[in-house]
Amino acid sequence: MNSIIPGDVKDRCYICGRRGKMEVHHMLHGSRRANAERCGLKVHLCRQCHADLHDHGAHDAELEEIAQVEFEKNHTHAQWMWIFGKNFRKEEHE
Ligand SMILES: [Zn+2]
Ligand SMILES: [Zn+2]
């Protein structure tokens, strides 16, 4: 599945905007990674930003929230909870 995240470009880092050869980052990882792939919840990151994210958690929560917001534009919140089992949105969800 291709990325459903607006503004994601395959040769530009989603975080810092650097251009070049990018790595694919699944915005939900661990046990949720396969579902992130299936739902297109991924962005392209440069090697540096990708390493900072996985080593230090840089922008991790932000990207998890963006993934959920974009998913919920086309699905319900209940579907998100069914698939991913955790709310990553910071604001209250009615
Ligand atoms: Zn970057
Ligand atoms: Zn990654």
Per residue in 44-68, is it b (16+ CB within 10 Å) or e — as a string? Answer: bbbeebbebbeeeebbeeebbbbbb
* pLDDT tens column, 15-52: 999 999 999 999 999 999 999 999 999 999 999 999 99
Residue 94 pLDDT: 54
Residue 91 pLDDT: 76
Distance of alpha carbon 12 from alpha carbon 76, whole angstroms:
30
Centre of ligand 1 to C-alpha 44, Å, is: 9
Neighbours of ion ligand 1 (CB under 5 A): 13, 15-16, 18, 46, 49
Q: In the predicted model, is pLDDT for residue 92 greater than 90?
A: no
Name the DSSP class of 45.
E
pLDDT band for position 90 (50/70/90)? confident
Centre of ligand 1 to C-alpha 87, Å, is: 26
* pLDDT tens column, 54-64: 999 999 999 99
